[in-house]
Structure 1
Amino acid sequence: MKILLSLLLLCTSLAWAQPVPPTPFENGKFLTLPDSRDIGRYLAELDALSPKARLVSLGTSAGGRPIEALLMSESPVFLREYAAETDKPTVMIFGSQHGNEPSSAEAIQQLARELVAGEHPALLSRLNLVLVSMANPDGRDLSTRHNANDDNTNIDYVALNAGETRLLVDALHTFDPDVVYDAHESGIWKRVLTREQGWMTDVEAQFDMGNNPNIDGPLRAYTEQRLLPALIERVSDAGLAAVRYRGEITDINQSVARGGLGITNLRNYAAMQGRVSILVENRLDNKDGSYPTPRNIAERVRKQHLSILTMLELVADESERLVSLSRRARQQWQSGTEDGRILWMGVSFDVNRDEPEVTLPLVRFADGHQQQHRFRNHDAIVTREPVRLADAYAVIRERQRMADWLARHHIVFETVREPRELVAERLVIEQLLPQPKARPGVREKVQARVRVEEQSVTLQAGDLLVPMDQSLAPLAALMLDPRSANGLYQESEWRWLQPGEFPVFPVRLP
């Protein structure tokens, strides 16, 4: 009987251990990049091979290409219903938002192949994964940064002009991840820095987090003080020199800071929703260099894979505390101030007076000589215009257009059915101050000087009320308020900033 049982177990094991084919990139000996159709077929093959994988359509790109997520989990309920589990973080990984940064798409496929083959078994027992290998398939196939409509989806998370950005925002709500990981590559060759000044940047892996000061205070503190330093340390210990992201260095005379503070990017947008949000920028080698594979693509994929895998292992180890903080933040936001309800309308970087300069490595383009260069350090976060979160915001202009935009963000709002009298803080724009293009931190083009006048107002039928007792309230307020550096009205399609009374304003509910 024991022999029969052993044979049965062996046969079952052999039957389960189906051979998993290499990724299209691996199958091509790392010499050519597969197009989006090849990648889609491969993900479908992984779906068919494993009961722990499910391929889900998110929608279609501007160029008509499918955008898909491969779910991987040991939980049939998660695969079927996307349901969160109390003791398991859901991790959503986005690859190649910029189509000319392809290595993350290949690294994500490699990770999926390994998980289907039974490697890294602890990960699927401790995490639920949502893998979006190609967030921008148009850019992938066209070898461009943008989509087929020339939209830069990476900085579209306020306006939501691009269909791809709207699909990814929908996916955040569909799968409700605790962790969002956005994988990019950073080119070491820069037009001014390299061509005119003779230097290239020299970094292997840079990590940043959601850093807008309006992110839920406890969640932001945990990510900055514990999770991000631990990730950098682990990646470095694994053999890939990792550092805190210092932003794009394009000129030897510039100042440096960190990743931008604005919520137009996925990193801060997702974090404002109460999610741990991490950015990686792995090294994108100079296209004129000499490498074993085209533009060193095999090595770039290895670095992306190592970064992703290390992040997942860390999240698994931190799961209890991470899940608690992230889900509490999504239920009830609190600011980092004593009041707990304060939003900073103005945010930017300024000189760090405790560390006014930092030393960063550059490589001389002509001969590869490495040298440390000193840069002015402008990574101190400056805030202005503290505003206590209101009961609601009223909208009395272009109401249908605004309703469509709110719905795209999944922000709850009410359409007024009959005249309604409320106490309001009418916002009067007294002055508009154009902002310098080089102002670091945010994409604030115009700063509005605003006077607040408390008065009774009568909302008319068709006006909108956006309540601030919803989970997306702080995100909504930052986008709706004209005083905000992150406001919707900084976008070229929404030029509402004009002197006089503004048509969106806080109101007090009875």
Structure 2
Amino acid sequence: MTPLKKANYLSLPDSRDIDHYLFTLAEHSDRARMVHIGTSAGGRPVHALLMSSSPAFMRHYRPEPGKATVLVLAAQHGNEPAGAEAVQQLAQELTLGRHEALLKRLNLVLVAMANPDGRDLSRRHNANDENTNIDYVALNAGETRLLVNTLQRFDPDLVYDAHESGIWKRVLTREQGWLTDVEVQFEVGNNPNIDARLQDYTAGFLLPALISKVSEAGVRAEAYRGEITQLGQRVARGGLGITNLRNYAAMQGRVSVLVESRLDNKSGSYATPRNIAERVRKQHLALLSLLQLAATDSRRLMAVSRQARAQWQSAGADRSLSMDVHFARNHAEPEVRLPLVRLSSGERRYHEFVNYNAIVAGEQVLLPPAYAITRERERMARWLERHHIRFMTLRAPQDVRAERILIEALQPQPRIKPGVREKWRVQARTEAGELRLGPGDILVPMDQPLGPLAAMMLDPRSANALYQEAGWRWLKPGPFPVFPVNPGKARYSTSQDSGDLVTAAP
């Protein structure tokens, strides 16, 4: 039995108990192997349990032509434990020979404890009080970096991120007397810059199929509506930013799915503490349903994902990116009715909220051949390496044809709800001309699989730019030290005479 079941659901196992249990499963199965993938801020080991019927995958971890690779992450937030327990339960079942079709068609990489510090310290963040879940641009936290390395190491076709959402809200519940009423919500990569074919597959097929499958199994599943924190707020979808794993992985060309299941109120009366047995059941159902869909549709899923990683395709006719991406009011459906539960009586009632789920893709920018970086170059080089983005540090001066980005004004992004980090909308104009780069300056070519992702983080006009993150506040009126490099009479060079092309993180 899993440690939680062995404790009769009365106490949660800590990260060491979970690791010990998964190691034990691996010792008793030739289809399971534990792999160390890093160490947390608090010094705790982070492991992935590989499960596959393919000996080659178990030895080398590389993608296979006939099997999709699936990466499952649980407990990025340490105080959302049900996902980690569901992963252990699934691993146990696979070890015992259940769900045989899954291992025939899928190679699984199961990270039950993405944030072991949070589990052991009973907190959302890691031991350094970093929220690793929204760190995928800056990569400040070691846990985020090790998960980015995990994406590169195992190269999954499908990424699944398991979370729970508390129904008790400070304003909505304490002051207004209502609880949220959610069982299971799903969201997929939704940034409009994700490969167009990948978006069509995830939004048009996988998301509705997953919602339908879980609902038919008796658990009310819905498309993600985000956090309802107070009456009268706007509601949207899951965030569009690439600071979260869902959109970050999707921008790399991976099918990406988020689940948020119900985290029941502490003061409720349940058969097990805080209804943990039922919460694990819902997480297990959601995970198993997705894997079954992925196994059944593995050939199409692989084709879409691997094509996106090999050759990104924009939604328009040109290889263009939408730099200003945000939500706006849906005029076709201005209001949406969502159920809430009255705390005092348990009455379920529908409330109307302003519907802000229309995605606005603003200024279109053609993907240039490269970006040139002239500020904090050593620091930027380390950051690029952490993202596994190829770049070159120049050894000698080089003349290039480039655009100078001139920032004219900064305006705060409209907030959909309280508590969202403030970001800036950048008003800028460009001037084409010649630029002389010096030794030590950096060129980042866009003809690489991570080119579109790199552009969204490097271009200051992007709502997802690195300069929106704490510690990188370069945004101010005037000329910007990062330049789109364009083809022209003065072409940039990436020959060995110019510098060394860095291709991987240390």
TM-score range, shorter chain: over 0.9
Match of 1:369 among 326, 331, 347: 347
Using the TM superposition, name which of 140-149 and 498-507 deviates more.
Answer: 498-507
Instruction: Give SS of 2:301's match.
Output: helix
Using the TM superposition, give the Cα deviation of residue 432 of structure 1 relative to its aligned residue in structure 2, in angstroms. Answer: 1.9
Cα distance between partner residues in 2 of 1:275 and 1:246: 22
1:306-329 residue CA offsets vs partner (Å, 9 max, x unmatched): 100000000011111110010000
Corresponding residue number in structure 2 for 1:403 = 381
Pairwise mapping of residues 12-411 of structure 1 onto structure 2 (< 5 A)?
Answer: 22-339=1-318, 341-411=319-389
Match of 1:496 among 455, 471, 474: 474
Deviating beyond 4 angstroms after TM superposition, the runs of 4 or more aligned structure 1 residues are 436-444
Equivalent residues of 2:145, 2:386 under 8 A apart: yes
Corresponding residue number in structure 2 for 1:412 = 390
Corresponding residue number in structure 2 for 1:451 = 429
1:424-446 residue CA offsets vs partner (Å, 9 max, x unmatched): 00111122223344479985622
Cα distance between partner residues in 1 of 2:159 and 2:180: 27
Using the TM superposition, give the Cα deviation of residue 219 of structure 1 relative to its aligned residue in structure 2, in angstroms. Answer: 0.5
Instruction: Give SS of 2:362's match.
Output: strand
Using the TM superposition, give the Cα deviation of residue 508 of structure 1 relative to its aligned residue in structure 2, in angstroms. Answer: 2.1
1:24-71 residue CA offsets vs partner (Å, 9 max, x unmatched): 111111111000011111111111110100100011000000111000
Cα distance between partner residues in 2 of 1:359 and 1:505: 46
Pair 1:368–1:440, CA change in 2 (3 A): closer
Corresponding residue number in structure 1 for 2:442 = 464
Equivalent residues of 1:58, 1:68 under 8 A apart: yes
Equivalent residues of 1:437, 1:445 under 8 A apart: no
RMSD: 1.2
Cα distance between partner residues in 2 of 1:136 and 1:40: 13
1:67-113 residue CA offsets vs partner (Å, 9 max, x unmatched): 11000000011011012111211000000100000000000001001
Cα distance between partner residues in 2 of 1:377 and 1:253: 11
Cα distance between partner residues in 2 of 1:328 and 1:77: 23
Instruction: Give SS of 2:161's match.
Output: strand
TM-score, length-normalised on structure 1? 0.94
> What residue identity is the alignment partner of 2:413?
Q
Cα distance between partner residues in 2 of 1:438 and 1:219: 27
Cα distance between partner residues in 2 of 1:406 and 1:441: 29
Equivalent residues of 2:410, 2:424 under 8 A apart: yes
Instruction: Give SS of 2:136's match.
Output: coil
The unaligned stretches of length 5 or more in structure 1 are 1-21
TM-score, length-normalised on structure 2? 0.95
Instruction: Give SS of 1:428's match.
Output: strand
1:247-273 residue CA offsets vs partner (Å, 9 max, x unmatched): 000011111110000000000000000
Cα distance between partner residues in 2 of 1:236 and 1:447: 39
How many residues of Structure 1 are paired with residues of Structure 2 in the alignment? 488
Pair 1:439–1:192, CA change in 2 (3 A): closer
Corresponding residue number in structure 1 for 2:454 = 476
1:274-305 residue CA offsets vs partner (Å, 9 max, x unmatched): 00000000000001000011100011001100
Cα distance between partner residues in 1 of 2:392 and 2:413: 34
> What residue identity is the alignment partner of 1:378?
Y
Cα distance between partner residues in 2 of 1:241 and 1:437: 29
Pair 1:370–1:382, CA change in 2 (3 A): same
Cα distance between partner residues in 1 of 2:9 and 2:419: 37
Equivalent residues of 1:443, 1:485 under 8 A apart: no
Corresponding residue number in structure 2 for 1:12 = none
Equivalent residues of 1:57, 1:67 under 8 A apart: yes
Instruction: Give SS of 1:278's match.
Output: strand
1:152-171 residue CA offsets vs partner (Å, 9 max, x unmatched): 00000000000000000000
> What residue identity is the alignment partner of 2:203?
E
Pair 1:403–1:439, CA change in 2 (3 A): farther
Identity of aligned residues (%): 66
Equivalent residues of 1:348, 1:442 under 8 A apart: no
